Amino acid sequence: MKPDCHTAMIQLIQQARDAFPFGVPEAELCGGKCIGCPKKLLELVDTELCDWETRLEHGEVPKLGDISRLGKLCRNVHRGLKRNGVV
């Protein structure tokens, strides 16, 4: 059985929090030649995740498009971090 949109968004946020290296020191992120700034990419994802966590706490129900957009953002940022050797 598929989860409802609220549950799906919570699961996506948790997967993103587990997958991205938010606790890595800035010195490790900014180490030389970069293809896209890993620090800024992580800040972008963290901002979006925090925004959705707050919205969910206030009872907002995400739409399927919201889940899709957040998932796409996470995939693209993960790809950028992979190019830079961060993940």
pLDDT digits (tens, 9 = 90+) for 13-46: 999 999 999 988 887 777 677 778 888 999 999 9
Residue owning tokens 């940022």: 77
- Please count the residues of the chain: 87
CA distance 52 to 3: 17
pTM above 0.75, yes or no: yes
The pLDDT, as a whole number, for residue 34 is 76
The pLDDT assigned to 1 comes to 84
81, 20 contact by CB (below 8 A): yes
pLDDT at residue number 29: 76
Rounded to an integer, what distance in angstroms lies between the CA atom of residue 13 and that of residue 31? 27
Distance (Å, rounded) from C-alpha 6 to C-alpha 14? 13
- What is the average pLDDT value for the chain, to the nearest integer? 92
